[in-house]
Amino acid sequence: MKLRNVLIAAGSALALSTLATAAFAAGTLNASAVSSVIVVSPTTLTKTQDMNFGTVVRPSGANGNTTFILDTANNVTKSGGDGSVVASTTTSAKFSLVTTPGISFTPSAVLSFAPAGQLINIAAGTPLVTGATGAGPTFNLAANGTAMLSYGGQFDVTPTTVPQTYTGTLAVTITYN
């Protein structure tokens, strides 16, 4: 008889657990998550002026390579070697950055010329940034949301550099911090 009572009790417990599961399955559970969004103004980086080193004369070879340097004020100077700068039109590259006022950003640039291997030690200069605060490499955009970036650069010419017109690119990247 004891075994019969145990079996009846076990059967009753199983029936109750089935009813309890069915009762929970018919209910509804809800949960929520916090959501957020940051809306900023459109961002543009626009080239407003191309870079032009003008005309330079390669070194003769007696004194080695000559480095030609274009500054952000449109001046080309030389260093080393006996190459020279010819009076010609020169311009630094300029870019306009328009985005959210007060945003923190770091500009970087890569200067290249083709054909590769003729001009060596090519490098973009440190930008002159107006319309932003900071001394670099990180700047904070002014309240009007506009900054101007001016870039110079440099390269070396060897006594064996082929005389021709070299073209290239100054690729500027803005990283938001």
pLDDT tens for each residue of 16-27: 555 455 555 678
Q: State residue 59 phi and psi, 5-degree precision.
A: -70, 155
**pLDDT confidence of residue 135:** 83
- pLDDT (tens digit per residue) in 76-87: 999 999 999 999
Answer whether 149's CB lies under 8 Å from 174's CB. Answer: no
For residue 77 the two structure tokens come to 């100077």
Query: Is 0.85 topped by the overall pTM?
Result: no
Q: Other CB atoms closer than 10 Å to residue 119's CB: what's the count?
A: 22
Q: State residue 21 phi and psi, 5-degree precision.
A: -65, -40
For residue 106 the two structure tokens come to 């770091």
